Chains A and B, each alone.
Chain A
Amino acid sequence: DAGITQSPRHKVTETGTPVTLRCHQTENHRYMYWYRQDPGHGLRLIHYSYGVKDTDKGEVSDGYSVSRSKTEDFLLTLESATSSQTSVYFCAIQGTGGPGTFFGQGTRLTVV
């Protein structure tokens, strides 16, 4: 168990509303990631962080923003949710025991 908690686990929201997903880790890892998983696409990187206040864009960052004000928390925000953002979102961290990324349990987001 890599000590990753995602919240909420499930959310239904309306088009146009803002949504924030939270990822919390307990093991002080430097690198954190947000991915989305869609059928037929595997997992695609949205944003990642390499330290407090240090973030960068991934492959599918349009419509998303992130913040990391503390080592343990990495927030993903959809400023104005759209139906195309209906997906399962995974937070991940890179452990210190060599390369290898560990994943949270995911957040299933439905935008109606």
Chain B
Amino acid sequence: AQSVTQLGSHVSVSEGALVLLRCNYSSSVPPYLFWYVQYPNQGLQLLLKYTSAATLVKGINGFEAEFKKSETSFHLTKPSAHMSDAAEYFCAVSDVSQAGTALIFGKGTTLSVSS
């Protein structure tokens, strides 16, 4: 069975600092991996996805994530945080072997950015 663990339910950074949100997965088959962002009272927006092409994936808003099979990790980073990055972030995994497989989500990490 697949699962996702997001380390740290709350991360606080200063504006301009590095953002690092951690995600580890377990999967018996090669996974697809995703990061979503949710702003208050809104739906989830896809930030980026790994689909077995390049291991370093670039997404929207300056975010990127690196797939590391040996570490079963897919950590999300951004070199310099902006106030507008404050939101909740979700890592998710799905099974590549079956089309239409639903996503399995981590419990989320709330990012706070201080000035």
Contact = CB atoms under 8 A, between A and B. Distances in A.
Contacts of B17: none
Contacts, number: 55
B94 interface: yes
Interface of B: 9, 32, 34, 36, 42-46, 49, 51, 90, 92, 94, 96, 99-100, 102-108
A88 B43 CA distance: 10
Interface residues of A, number: 25
Interface of A: 30-31, 33, 35, 40-45, 48, 50, 58, 90, 92, 94, 98-106
B43 A105 contact: yes
Determine which residue in A31, A45, A50, A99 has the highest number of CB atoms from chain B within 10 A of its CB, and name it. A99
Nearest to B98: A50
B8 to A, nearest CB: 13
Given A99-B51, A99-B94, A102-B46, A94 B106 contact: no
A33 B107 contact: no
Contacts of A30: 100
Nearest to A33: B102
B100 A94 contact: yes
Contacts of A40: 9, 107
Contacts of A50: 100
Nearest to B96: A99
Given A31-B100, A99-B32, A100-B49, A44 B105 contact: yes
24 contacts: A30-B100, A31-B99, A31-B100, A33-B102, A35-B105, A42-B106, A42-B107, A43-B44, A43-B90, A43-B105, A48-B100, A58-B102, A98-B51, A99-B32, A99-B51, A99-B96, A100-B34, A100-B49, A101-B34, A101-B94, A103-B44, A105-B42, A105-B43, A106-B42
